[in-house]
Amino acid sequence: MAKAPKLLSLPKGLAPDKLRPVCDPGSLGFETTEGLPVTQGLVGQGRAVDAISLSANIRQKDFNIYVLGNVGMGRHTAVEQLLGKAASERPTPCDWIYVNNFEMPHKPNAMRLRSGQARALRAAMQGLVDDLANEIPALFESDEYQTQRRAIEAEFGQRHEEPIAAFAERVQAEGVALIRTPMGFMLAALKDGKPIKPEEYEALPDDAREEIDAKIGRLQEELASVLKLGPQLEKEHRKRIEELHAGMAERVVTLRVSEVANAFSAEEGVADYLETVRQDMISNAELFLISMRAQNDGPFPEAIRKYHRDPHFDRYAVNIMVSHDEAQEDAAPVITEDLPSLGHLIGRIEYVSEMGTLATNFTLIKPGALHRANGGYLILDAHRILTEPFAWDALKRCLQSQSITITSLAERLSLASTITLEPDPIPLDTRVVLIGDRRLHMLLTLLDPEFGELFKIQADFEDDLPRNDLHTKEMAQVIASYAAKENLRPLTAGAVAALLDHALRLASDAKKYSLQLGVLTDVMREADHYTAQARRDLTDETDIEKAISEAEHRASRIKDRLQEAVTRKTILIDTEGAVVGQVNGLSVMGIGGHAFGRPSRITATVRMGTGKLVDIEREVELGGPLHSKGVLILGAYLAAHFALDVPMSLHASLVFEQSYGGVDGDSASSTELYALLSALSGVPIRQGFAVTGSVNQNGEVQAIGGVNEKIEGFFDLCKARGLTGEQGVLIPAANVEHLMLHRDVVEAARASKFRVVPVTTIDQGIEVLTGRKAGKRGRGGAFSKNSINALVEARLRDFAETRRRFGASNGADENGKEGGS
| pLDDT tens digit sequence for 14-26 | 999 999 998 989 8
Q: Active-site residue 18, yes or no?
A: no
pLDDT of the residue at 658: 79
**Between vectors from CA 315 to CA 311 and to CA 316, what angle results, nearest 5°?**
110
335 pLDDT band, cuts 50/70/90, is: very high
Q: Active-site residue 667, yes or no?
A: yes
pLDDT of the residue at 765: 93
User: Across the strands, what pairs with 334?
Assistant: 377
In the predicted structure, residue 816 carries a pLDDT above the cut 50: no
* Percentage, residues of the chain above pLDDT 90: 40
With 0-12 / 13-18 / 19 or more C-beta atoms within 10 angstroms meaning exposed / middle / buried, residue 475 is: buried
pLDDT of the residue at 642: 85
pTM of the predicted model, to two decimals? 0.79
For CA atoms 391, 396, 398, 399, give the dihedral sign.
positive
In the predicted structure, residue 84 carries a pLDDT above the cut 60: yes
Q: Indicate the residue type of 603.
A: T
Q: Are 260 and 132 in contact, with CB atoms under 8 Å apart?
A: no
Q: In terms of pLDDT, which residue wins out, 813 or 642?
A: 642
In the predicted structure, residue 93 carries a pLDDT above the cut 80: yes
| pLDDT tens digit sequence for 144-195 | 767 777 777 776 666 666 677 776 777 776 767 777 777 666 777 766 667 7
Mean pLDDT of 787-807: 88
Identified catalytic residue from 115, 481, 514, 710 = 710
**CA 54 from centroid of its chain's CA atoms:** 23
pLDDT of the residue at 195: 76
Q: Give the whole-angstrom CA distance, residue 132 versus residue 127.
A: 9
User: What pairing do the DSSP bridges indicate for beta strands 184-191 and 194-195?
Assistant: antiparallel
For CA atoms 15, 16, 21, 26, give the dihedral sign.
negative
Q: In terms of pLDDT, which residue wins out, 447 or 637?
A: 447
Secondary structure of 475-523 in the HEC alphabet? Answer: HHHHHHHHHHHCCCCCEEHHHHHHHHHHHHHHHCCCCEEECCHHHHHHH
pLDDT of the residue at 819: 39
756 pLDDT band, cuts 50/70/90, is: very high
Mean pLDDT of 372-384: 95
Q: Give the whole-angstrom CA distance, residue 784 versus residue 775.
A: 5
- One DSSP character per residue, 676-734 reads HHHHHHTPPEETTEEE--EE-TT-BEE--S-HHHHHHHHHHHHHHH---SS-EEEEEGG
In the predicted structure, residue 296 carries a pLDDT above the cut 60: no
Cβ contacts of 139 within 8 Å, gap of 6 or more: 145, 248, 249, 252
Identified catalytic residue from 587, 667, 694, 787 = 667
